[in-house]
Structure 1
Amino acid sequence: MTQTRTRLERGRGVLGQALTLVHTGQAPTRAVLTSELGVTRATAGAVAAELESLGLIRVDTHPAAPAAGTHGRPSHGLSVDPEGPVVLAAQVHVDGYRAALVGLGGHVVATAPGCMTPPEDPAGVIGEVVEAGARLLRGSTRRCVGVGLAVPSAVSEPEGEALDPLNLAWSIGAPVRAAFTEQVERAGLSGPDGAPLPCFVGNDANLAALAEHRHGAGTKSRHLLYVTTGHRGVGGALVLDGRLHTGSGGLALEVGHLTVDPGGRPCRCGSRGCLDVEADPLAFLEAAGRAPGPQFSLLHQAARLLREEYADEGVARAAGLLADRLGLGLAGLVNILNPDRIVLGGLHAALLTADPDRLHSAVARRSLWGRGVALLPSGLDHAGLVGAAEAAWQPVLDDPLGALGE
């Protein structure tokens, strides 16, 4: 057995870890990869070469000279292969869908938005978004290695059923994973060897949290708490050491049902004053004395009001009220979960941007550890969509050789 082969055999156990480091931007050079993996330089070189041979990364064989004042040889640069495989990511929301081809590194290669009122049968809108993705693939030469779908509902594991489709007309327990898998097969999507593509379905807030942790405002965080609000309601997720904490059945972190005002609005969960009804776009519009219109989603209307009319006294007062309610809920979560970073999405990100001191103060004032927690707005435009791609990429990140059939 050659020395190179021996090094490669030694390093194959860390191929997935190495790919994840390049995928998340944590190993921009072979020297950093060597350090992060805790292997020899030769083994790291063999690992990088293997990932390059799989078409997943590129190794710069002509590295630039070291910066002035530094020592040692320049290290080979590492990056994801811009012509490498992709996954098909899809997201369903209250007024339509979006499909995209997403490469390693969270790079959106192509996207196709669509507007429609999702029908009561999930297969209708899922079929539309899958077909939109199939058209993107037909116009691409890239190899597809998986498909992922984000939906605005808690999704049970392992059944793949939508248990809380608040904003959609779907029935509780709708079999979204089965419908998604069926539509992918019907569209004729398969791997290069003709095998069915692995299909993944998850809650949009969970998947957005994963995307933010790997490519957005949550990078380098160990314990990331993500809280967001879309059209209606409040969602959240927790990422621990790079993995989503989903609980025993995929239903963990229903942060929207934290009580922040015991005498407040009735919530569909049976309680009163939950974040779900006290800190979402509808609550903001009502607090600002604005009647919601039919033209756009509530999130769009609330975000535009906050952005364009924050100087209005009533709008500013409503924003402060929501910030206080959100801060109260976040403070409780900080006391329980002790995250090192909180990332806010949707309208909550806009609230933080409009008055960061108010929200920081609300969290710090009511929690034991709140002063030491970084509080940041989302760093991604389509976090749920990128998160759906992350779910589809996960088998490749875990075992590149096994997932790609090499």
Structure 2
Amino acid sequence: MALPPAVELRRRNRAALLEQLHRHGPQTRAALTEALELNRSTIGALATDLAESGHLQETTGQSTGSAGRPSTLVACVPRSITVAAVEIRADRLRFALVGLGGEVLERSESALEAGADPIEAVAVITGGTASAAAVASVPGLVDEGAVAHSTELGWIDRDAAAELEAATGREWRVVDTATAAAVGEWSRGDAGEARKLLYLHGGRGLTAGLVIEGRAQRGGSIQLGHIVVEPGGRECVCGLRGCLDAEMEAFGLADGIEDATLAAGMGDAAARDRLRRSGEGLGRALGAVVTATGPDEILFGGWLRELYLSTAAPVRSAFAETTLPHLRSKLRLRTPVLGDEGALIGAAETGFAAVFEEMR
């Protein structure tokens, strides 16, 4: 049954106000009026309503040093809405309970023994944690909660969302690690100006995630490591030949990128040649992805950060040879600011985006 228009409008405005404060931090009512393009009385009524429901509080801001009292700021109450976020890796799990406004309320990490099932471990690490949403990031190709392929975890066609729900008794959203990191960099890093943000993640296998205005897209999870860059080349574990993972020997670099870059920096010709060839392969694969998706910013995360910093010239050269000029003319290539925290933060922000959408 449809709600009366006035009620629907109020719901949307409540959600918009909470999302504004969640993303941008405490603000004055005047600033909220301008940001949301609502009148002062509407902002006042919404702020009062949300304060009564326990979602917001008003605090005194810092004085600017000029005459007059410090401004009164509207701020989130972190524990009023929480999201449980989990990052699944081959060797460990990371968990965070994140509150409204982005504050990390609880955090833990546990190692995974060889052969251990990460799904069962998630049930243990999250315990009886209550939250408005739960999101897990998984390295690999993810679609609608199912992991089609994960080189790092050795998963093929595994419905991770359904398995997590069965193990924990609650609904889960599942997003790939690269997409989660992209959401994190857009929401809490410095990539918020990018309309289309492409994040490349180096783990035990190479993945990429595309977000548009900070939101994960169906089809935005990309198996970067299984783009063929050398037809007829080395055999890959996936059964194809010449995949980027195989040509770069990505498993080896995942554990040895620091040793390789150090050796190259000390003049080791073999290490330099290996890194150069890896950079060229990455640039060629990147050309295919950019041609298909047309991003305006690319971030190199995981161990690809170190590879890019040491081989930016061959990456850019190979990329230029495989990409139309207009697609790269305004494209920014750089490294992320959140580092290893990006995927966990992004998983939480994916959950908050779903919460705000449900409130509308």
Could you tell me the TM-score, scaled by structure 2's length?
0.82
Unaligned runs of 5+ in 2: 1-5
8 Å CA contact retained: 2:189, 2:337: yes
Q: Which residue of 2 aligns with 1:265?
A: 234
Matched residue SS, 1:315: helix
Which residue identity is paired with 1:344? Answer: F
Name 2:224's counterpart in structure 1: 255
Cross-structure match for 1:373 = 331
Inter-CA distance 75–351: structure 2 relative to 1 (3 Å threshold)? farther
One-letter amino acid of the structure 2 residue matched with residue 260 of structure 1: V
Paired residues for 1:6-405 under 5 Å: 11-25=10-24, 28-60=27-59, 62-65=60-63, 76-117=72-113, 119=115, 124-134=117-127, 137=129, 144-157=131-144, 160-170=145-155, 172-185=156-169, 197-231=170-204, 233-247=205-219, 252-279=221-248, 281-282=250-251, 284=253, 299=254, 301-306=255-260, 308-312=262-266, 313=268, 314-364=270-320, 366-367=322-323, 368=325, 369-380=327-338, 381-400=340-359
1:161 to partner: Cα distance: 3.3
Tell me: CA distance 1:44–1:155, structure 2 relative to 1, closer, same or farther (3 Å): same
Question: Which amino acid is 1:117 matched to?
Answer: E
SS at match of 2:284: helix
**Residue 264 of structure 1 contacts residue 272 of structure 1 at CA under 8 Å; is this kept in 2?**
yes
Deviation at 1:97, TM superposition (A): 1.6
Q: Is the 8 Å Cα contact of residues 176 and 209 (structure 2) preserved in structure 1?
A: no
Which amino acid in structure 2 is aligned with residue 205 of structure 1?
A
* Distance in 2, Cα, partners of 1:88 & 1:261: 41
Change in 2 beyond 3 A, CA 1:166/1:365: closer
Residue type at the aligned position of 1:150 = S
Which range is displaced more, 234-243 or 270-279?
Answer: 270-279
Structure 1 residue 154, shift from structure 2 partner: 2.6
3-state SS of 2:245 partner: helix
Structure 1 distance, partners of 2:79, 2:334, is: 32
| C-alpha spacing 1:349/1:78, structure 2 compared with 1 (3 Å) | farther
**Does the 8 Å CA contact 2:261/2:271 hold for their aligned counterparts?**
no
Q: CA offsets per residue over residues 98-129 of structure 1, 9 Å max, x none? A: 22212234443322211123547xxx432222
Q: Distance in 1 between matches of 2:248 and 2:27?
A: 40
2:76, 2:82 → 1: CA distance? Answer: 11
Partners of 2:206 and 2:250 within 8 A in 1:
no
Q: What's the CA shift for 1:54?
A: 4.0
109-118 or 344-353: which moved more? 109-118
> Are 2:148 and 2:158, in contact at CA under 8 Å, matched by a contact in 1?
yes
* SS in structure 2 at match of 1:379: coil
Q: CA deviation at 1:235?
A: 0.7
Q: Give, in angstroms, the shift of residue 346 of structure 1.
A: 0.8
Shift of 1:57: 4.2
The 10-residue stretch of structure 1 (336-345 or 50-59) with the greater mean CA deviation from structure 2: 50-59
Residues 92 and 110, structure 2, Cα contact 8 Å, conserved in 1? yes
Q: SS at 1:276's partner residue?
A: helix
Q: Counterparts of 1:245 and 1:22 in 2: how far apart (Å)?
A: 24
Aligned residues: 351
- CA displacement at 1:230 relative to structure 2: 0.5
* Distance verdict in 2 for CA 1:65–1:114, change over 3 Å: closer
Contact 2:25-2:75 within 8 A present in 1 as well: no
The 1:255/1:54 distance shift into structure 2, 3 A limit, reads farther
RMSD: 3.4
Contact preservation (8 Å) 1:258, 1:329: yes
